[in-house]
Amino acid sequence: PIRGIPIEWGFIGSCTNGRIEDLRAAAAVLKGNRIKSGVNLYIVPGSEAVRERAISEGLDKIFEAAGADFRMPGCSMCLGMNDDIVPPGARCISSSNRNFVGRQGPGSRTHLASPETVAASAICGFIESHVSKAIDNNSHAIFQES
C-alpha cells in the first residue's frame, strides 16, 4: 500500500486533470485547510479559459489561502518543463497521466492520483485518499467527504 508514504510535492493540472471540474474538486478539499509545511503544491489549469473561469469562481483565492501555487496554464511539472521539476530524491503525488522514472525530474519519484487525493495528500504531507477522510500528522480530521 502507498497510503502514508511521505511526499514533498503535489501537482494538479496540465492537460490531463486541469479541467475546471478538476480544479473545483481540488478546491473543495483545500478550502479551509493549509498545505503541510515542507510540501509544495502546484496547480496548473489546462488552458487559459480554465484559468479565467477558476479566477472568476474564486478558486485561485482558495488555492492561495491553502498555500498552493496557482500557476499559468501549460505542461509545467507534468513533464518537468522549465524550472518546474521535482528535485532528486523527492516524491511527488501528481494528477498527470505518466509516472515513468525521471519524468518530473531526474532522480524523483512520482505517484499518480486524482486531483482530490493530491490535494488531501498535500495537506497531510503523506499519501492519503480523499474517499473517507484525510488525517494530518497530529491525527486531526481535516477533510470529510459529504
Q: Are 117 and 128 in contact (CB under 8 A)?
A: yes
Q: Decide if 4 is inside a domain.
A: no
Q: Kindly tell me if the per-residue pLDDT of 17 is higher than 70.
A: yes
Q: Decide if 146 is inside a domain.
A: no
The CATH number of residue 109's host domain is 3.30.499.10
Average pLDDT, stretch 103-121? Answer: 84
DSSP string, 40-108: EEEEE-SSHHHHHHHHHTTHHHHHHHHT-EE--SSSGGGGT-TT--PPTT-EEEE-SS---TTTTSTT-
Q: Decide if 97 is inside a domain.
A: yes
Q: Decide if 76 is inside a domain.
A: yes
Q: Give the cell for residue 29.
A: 478539499
| pLDDT value of residue 145 | 47
Helix 115-124 with 20-30: angle, nearest 10 deg: 30
Say how far apart CA 76 and CA 72 lie, in whole Å. 9
Average pLDDT, stretch 119-135? Answer: 77
**Where in the sequence is the domain holding 14, given as residue range(s)?**
9-140
Q: Kindly tell me if the per-residue pLDDT of 71 is higher than 50.
A: yes
Number of compact structural domains in the chain: 1
- In percent, the amount of the chain with pLDDT more than 90 equals 49
| pLDDT value of residue 96 | 78
Which residue type occupies 81? Answer: M
Q: Decide if 91 is inside a domain.
A: yes
What pTM was estimated for this model as a whole? 0.84
| pLDDT value of residue 26 | 95
Q: Decide if 63 is inside a domain.
A: yes
Say how far apart CA 32 and CA 44 lie, in whole Å. 20
Q: Decide if 17 is inside a domain.
A: yes
Of the two residues 31 and 132, the one the predictor is more confident about is 31
| pLDDT value of residue 98 | 65
Q: Decide if 113 is inside a domain.
A: yes
Give 72-85 pLDDT, tens digit per residue. Answer: 767 555 556 677 77
